[in-house]
Structures are given as C-alpha cells and as structure tokens.
Structure 1
C-alpha cells in the first residue's frame, strides 16, 4: 500500500515511524514545506520513503491508498480530509480521533510475531506504554518458537482438524507452566492477612534496634562514621554486584560475598557478620517488593521462619565462639564456598530439567539446616533452601518470594548474634556491603530480566570456585 503523510515535523516523524514499525517495506510519500532532520535521515536509509518539500495540493493524493494528516494546521487538515474523501480514501488525522477514519495502533514486533494495540483513539499514551511493557517482557526468542512451529506445521499430514489437534498438543507446554505458576497462591496469598502488619512492624522495629545496638556497643562503628577506609569502596562495588546477581537467580549473594570477603583478608566470623548485616536491608527491600507483588506463600513462610532463625542463631554462636581459630576455620569455609560454587555451576546446566517426584515435605528440617549452614558459611540459605524447594516441585516464583522475606529475619537474628558475640568487626567491609546491596535491591530484578540466567550462574560458579581455590592454595602455601 502507498501511504501519503502530509507533515514532516515531530508529529509527522511519529506517524512515519508508526507505519515503518509495521513494515519497513511500506511505500511512503511525505509532503511538507518544512522537513526535520530525523525525517531526512529515515529517507536516506529507506529508499521507498520519498520526500516532497512543497505545499500540499489535492494532486498529492492521486496515487495514495491511505492518507495521514500530521500537521498542526486545522484548516489544512480539513482540506486534506475533503480531498481524501472525494477520492474515497481513508484518512488518519493526528491527535483528532473524531476526524479519523482509522487509527494507527501501537505495534509490538518480535520477528514475525506482531501484536497490535489500539485504544480507539482515546489514549495513544496508554497504547504506547502497553507497547513498552510487551517489548520489555516478551523474549526475543519467541520468534524462534514461531519459526519452529511453522516448520513443524509444514510437516503435518492429514486434514485440517487433525493438524489443529496435533498443534494444540505440541503447544500445550507453552500454557501449562503459567497455569501451574498461578494455581498455587490463590488461597495462600490471603492465608495470614491479619498478621501482615505485625510482620512489617517487626521489620521496622528490628532495624531500629539494630542501629541502636551498633551505636551503643561498638565504638569502632562510630569511629568509622568520621572517616572512610578505602576498603569501603571495594565492598560497596562488591555488594552492589553480588546483590544484582542474587536478584537474577535468587541465590549466591552469601557465597559470593563470603568468598570475596575471605579473599580480602576478612576473618570468617566477621565476613559472615558483614554478609548478614548487608542482607538485612537488601532482603527487607526485596521481601517488601515480593509482598507487594503477592509472591509470598504464607504457609511456607510459617514452616521456614522459626527453624531457620534457630539454625542461624546456633550457627552464628558457634562461629563467633571459634573466632580465635579464624585462621584455621578460613580454609574450611573456603572449601564450603568451593562446593557451593560447583553446585551453582552444575545447576546452570540443569535449569531446564524436569522435576521428578512430589513436593519436598520436611520443610522445618530444611529451614533449620539451611539457617545453620548459612550462618556458619556466610551464605547458603538461597542455594540450599530455594534450590531444594524448587527441585522438590514448589512454585518457583512463590518459593523465591518466601525465601527472600524469611531471609530478612534470619539475617537479622544472625547479625544480632554476631554483634553480641564478636569483640570487633571490619566496619568498612560491613558498610560497603550494606549500602551496595541496598542500592542494587530495587533494580536487580528489572535488570536481570534482560540477562540470561544460565550465563549468570556459569559466571558466578566459575568466579566462586576460582576465589575459593585461591584462598585454599594460599593457606596451604602458608602452612608449608
């Protein structure tokens, strides 16, 4: 079809892009007295776009199939409408839905897939925002699925009915995960509505208590407020990066932060305390976001929270009691992070594996074990608990949300135990991790949606293994 656009200012440019967005092969003639640079650039790139720098006349519509009036001259727009209707042509008038014979919908394109969005001219802005939403959330790989389905359809034999039946069977897998994902929370989401205010009140009060304890018990903390150690900046960057990774795959913040802290010379107990202190704020923010999105399984929360806290406090107490043996504990912690790095790496190549068996039943034991190992090793709650829940058949989205919100309380109680038990701490590392992870928490999920989860897990696994091996080798060389 041959489209004639009258007007080449910002509105004309928008209409030109709208037509080209549906097909870059569209034949378009632009008529205008003044033409902005962006329109010239489009015409240079696309030979089928023709520019006529002149005043409009009725003769400009003689070869047109459809017409778009994109001028700010109401009198000229009315003239274009009369001329077009005389030739039985349909007209779109910019920002005048009552004068339009048709509307230009927003078009979302993913290869050969096209989704058209129209508001019947009522609100182009809403159509634009919906277009952005689809563009951001529909994966580019969707076109690959489309091409594969097309190729498969061409191989089918039989009548139309049998072909449709076979295609429905093959494409059912595209719908089933979504049905499963939204099936579980219907009752759970409102299981404990009476107590949700108590949970968030506890969060606020706990953070206030934590700050008060810092100020009263730790003169070193007050000293660091006055001056910033250069190590702070290393841990600030590290905390931000590790929290971004955690937001992408729902785990590995603890193990990456601990491995990094040990490599920077931080003792195991102080490293674990720094990791858990930073997780208080970041997981509080992440937990709140998941709560707002309705991603919390309150029944699972109830089963995990108490055993997780008990395990975390016991682990933090044990590690703090062995503070004087930190040099000897460090290689064992590095060995633990080395193993977790291998687990993360192996999971990267099994993310699409189907689960076998029913849901995991012993949730309380899982919480107790996960909390203890997390405190002793400086991380592992996500790697152990979240991985086990998902592998056992739990809903991935609600498992992630529940693990995040329980992590807040576990990190809080671990931190309080460490503060009570330890005589000193590396506050520059703690402050860097706290601020860095808090800055990353609100944006981690959005950014991570654009990155391959498998790629992140492979990179994290390799880095953790390398850093852990370095710490172990350095210890062996020191002993020798």
Structure 2
C-alpha cells in the first residue's frame, strides 16, 4: 500500500497550533486554520511577519498570539501541533526533532520527509466539509481538485443537510429502519449506472465499426501499395531499427517506472550494440527533446520553476551541450576506441553517483558557489555521454538542500534548451542518416509508456535509484570489458 494516511476531522477547539515562520507560507497556513475556525488557538513565532499576517493578528481575538523573534525550544510548551513554514532547512530540521522529542505532531511546508501529518485542500459547503490529500506528492493537484468540487457541489447542499438532519432526529423507528429510509431518500444523489447490456452493445458497435474502418483502409491501400512492396520496404529498414525499438521500450520502462535513467540507459544499451557514438547522443537528445518540452512546460505552468536558477542553468548548459556534442563528434570519429572507454567510464561514475543519491539523508541548505560551472558541466557531459543532465544537476542541487519541487521543475525545463542545442549540433554535423535509431527509440518509448505508468511508484525511491544504478554499472562494465578484450 503506497498511501497509508488515515483522514480524520479534528475538533480545533481542543487544539493549540504553533506556526514557526511569518512569511508568505506562514500567512497561508494561518489563513487556512482561521478559515476553518476563527476561534482556533494559534501561536506564531518568527523574526519577520508578512504585512497581511500582521493585519490578521491585529484583527484577531486573543486566540492568535505572535512573537517577533527566532524560535526557542520553550515555544513548544503546551502545543498540540507544529507547522513549520520557514525557508531555512536547518531551522526546520531542528524544530522537527525538538517537537518529536516532546511527542508533538509536525507539518513542514513542501518537505514531506519532515511531516507527521498533511494539511489537505478543504472544500467548505456549510456543514459539508471535504478534505483532499495527494499524500504530499502534488499540493497543486489537490488545489485544482478543490476548485473543481467547489464549483460542482451546489451551495444548496446545506439545505439538503438540514432536511436530512431533521428527518433523522424526528424518525421514530429503530436504527435499521432509519438507515433504510435515509438510503431510499438519498439514492437519487448518486447517478444511476447504465445497464451493462447497453455498455456491451456500444462496445460491440464500436469494435465492428473500427474493424470495418481498418478493413476499408487496408483494402484501399492494397490497390496502391502491394504486399510485395511492403515486404520489400521492410527489408530495406536497417536491422538497428528493431534493436532501437527494444532499447527505447526498455529505457522508457525504466524511466517511467522510477523517474530517471532514460539517457544513461539508452547510452549504455546502444554502446553494447555497437552503435556509433555521435549517433548515440544525437538520437537520444532528439527523442528526449519532445518529452522534456512537455515536462518543462507543465512544471512552469504549475509554478515549479525558479526563473533565476533557470537562466543560469540554461545559459551555461547550452554552451556546455554545444561543446560536448562537438567534442563527441570529433573524438567519436577520430578516436573511437578511446571515446568508448571515456563514455563507459562516465556512465559507470553516473551509476555510482545514483547509489550515493539513494542513501542521501536530509541535507541542510548550502550555498552553491559555481552554479554556472554546474550547468556547463551538466550540459557538456549530457551531450557527450548521451545522458546525465538529471543525475548531475538534480542530485547536486538536492545535495545542497534546495527545495525538491523547484529543483525538479527548473532542471526539467532547462533540459529542453540543453537537448535542443545538442540536437541542432548533431543534426548539422550528421544530418538525418540515423533516422531509424530516433524512430525506433520514439516508437519503443510510446509502447512502453502506459506500462511504465502502471509501474510508477511501485518501487520505493531508494530501491528505484539502486535498480537504475545497478543497470548502468553492469552495462558500463560490459562495454569496458568488451573494449579491452
């Protein structure tokens, strides 16, 4: 079971909340609590208070107290729940540890690893209250679901609740009779499902129509292109195309199931098959360019992108990608054996880095001194090795204590510009001579995508990283041994 949360509705009159942090997030959490109960007991501790939060505190009764100073351990006295909203990981970690020592439940904004409970998106319709949680995976989706149900559920639902409550109180029968009558009254609230026979009929009609369309299309094409022409055309397709179908399928299966590893999985697999080195990276980047564009746009739309970080990573990443692609084309053509050794060593190191990332613990936020160099080296090695932008850049930023939501969103969007730059260089130098490799990767990935989606989340994060690392290391070692033998 992936989601072990047990939803409860808390009577807030009996609880005292401590909010550590007075910025935008502290303001949001305070508004959320007061919206559910204007009389809830809240204590806010922070060196700085948002102007809107100050206004709320001034207008509130004595149930909202504020102290403009750093957090102290004594602030935890007589508190039932703690909500951490600061942007300083070291303070968040300290508050979490002190709270847990005193058996106080903790919620930390955008840090699921520190949370004992989550604050879900809440729908209020009079006495009807619905809470939505995504198990800390996507608060944005929970927010969209809240907006949807708020619109769909009519405001008159309160009238229905009042009538049903009066009926329940005045009903003179026993519990079972009361339950049966209430079920009969409310059965119209649930839309009736259509008879199974109707569904079967529609499915049969659709299948027959689709079959006829396929037959009609096939018959029409047969008058233009004969079976022998198709057979001859298939014989002209390079055998590498079919290998790339398998590579694309396997790489997408891995990437879709565990969240990373597409590039390095493709690169190591294609090296084993003896594909030319420039064609390896060029094909991977072309196939990956489309997926990175969609992924990056989605992150930008949901506000997961740090624009300043995006500018630094994209600018230097593009420069690194161009130089990496040019270096691979030159070395791959002039010194192919040496390039294979370099590339297999690089993918081996990426595998080791994934193992380190798998066992990484929570890190305190640290200053990144050479952000431009990180983008450049990630872009260079990604273009030269056919993959590695995520394992290099993402793991480094996470190791420095950066917020995972903004790291993943920013790195995903910047990856589009990096892959685009590398693809342009490869196409300019190599043309489209390796079209069958790109097409094989794309088709294989499309077939694997729905299967990978079903596998997503089945493996714990640590196990997933170790699985990909093992594949990359084994493949890299096989390529290296193949070269020296």
Compute the TM-score of the two structures, normalised by the length of structure 2: 0.52
Shift in Å at residue 248 of structure 1?
5.5
Question: For 2:439 and 2:445, how far apart are their aligned partners in 1?
Answer: 10
Task: Find 2:320's aligned residue among 311, 315, 324.
Answer: 311
Are 1:428 and 2:436 counterparts?
Answer: yes
Cα offset, 1:476, TM superposition: 0.8
Contact 1:295 1:401 in 2 (8 A): yes
Structure 2: distance between partners of 1:445 and 1:112: 22
Question: 2:345 pairs with 311, 319, 335, which one?
Answer: 335
> Counterpart of 1:285?
294
Match of 2:108 among 175, 195, 198: 175
CA deviation vs aligned residue, 1:66-100 (integer Å, no higher than 9, x gap): xxxxxxxxxxxxxxxxxxxxxxxxxxxxxxxxxxx
CA apart distance, 1:371 = 0.6
Q: Which residue of 1 aligns with 2:273?
A: 264
1:34-85 deviations in Å (ceiling 9; x for gaps): xxxxxxxxxxxxxxxxxxxxxxxxxxxxxxxxxxxxxxxxxxxxxxxxxxxx
Distance 1:314 1:110, change over 3 A: closer
Q: Of residues 403, 412, 421 in structure 2, which corresponds to 1:413?
A: 421
- Mapped contact 1:386–1:403 kept (Cα < 8 A): yes
Shift of 1:254: 1.5
Q: How does 1:26-45 map to 2 (within 5 A)?
A: none
Q: Aligned match of 1:394 in 382, 393, 402? A: 402
Please report how far the alpha carbon of residue 376 of structure 1 lies from its aligned counterpart in structure 2 after TM superposition.
1.2
Aligned residues: 286
CA–CA separation in structure 1 for the residues paired with 2:354 and 2:279? 24
Larger mean CA deviation between 228-237 and 375-384 belongs to 228-237
SS of 2:329's equivalent in the other structure is helix
- CA separation of 1:436 and 1:467: change in aligned 2, threshold 3 A: same
The 2-side partners of 1:111 and 1:467 are apart by 37
Structure 2 vs 1, CA of residues 225 and 371 (structure 1 numbering), >3 Å: closer, same or farther? farther
2:313/2:414 contact within 8 Å kept:
yes
Unpaired segments of 5 or more residues in structure 2? Answer: 10-76, 82-98, 116-135, 141-231
1:381 is matched with which residue: 389, 395, 400? Answer: 389
Query: Hey, what's the Cα distance between the residues in 2 that align with 1:450 and 1:358?
Result: 32
Aligned positions of 1:16-27 closer than 5 A: none
* Contact 1:239–1:433 (CA under 8 A) maintained in structure 2: yes
The Cα of 1:425 is off from its aligned counterpart by 4.1
Cα 1:358/1:346, change in 2 over 3 Å: closer
Equivalent pair of 1:308/1:372 in contact (CA under 8 Å): yes
Contact 1:313 1:413 in 2 (8 A): yes
Q: Return the offset for 1:329.
A: 1.1
- Whether the 8 Å CA contact 1:360–1:388 is kept in 2: the answer is no
Stretch moving more, 390-399 or 443-452:
443-452
> Contact 1:266–1:426 (CA<8 Å) still a contact in 2?
no
Q: Per the alignment, do residues 163 and 344 of structure 1 end up closer, same or farther by CA in structure 2, a change over 3 Å counting?
A: same
Q: Deviations over 1:239-277 (max 9, x none)?
A: 244235335555422211111110111122111111111
Residue 115 and residue 237 in structure 1: after superposition, are their counterparts in 2 closer, same or farther (change >3 A)?
A: farther
Per-residue CA deviation, residues 186-215 of structure 1 (Å, 9 max, x unaligned), is: 9xxxxxxxxxxxxxxxxxxxxxxxxxxxxx
Matches of 1:331 and 1:262 in 2, distance apart? 11
The two structures, once aligned, show a CA RMSD in angstroms of 3.6
- Paired position in structure 1 for 2:304: 295
Deviation at 1:285, TM superposition (A): 1.9
Matches of 2:453 and 2:103, distance apart in 1: 31
Deviation at residue 178 of structure 1 after TM alignment: 3.8
Q: Distance in 1 between matches of 2:8 and 2:244?
A: 45
Distance 1:231 1:347, change over 3 A: same
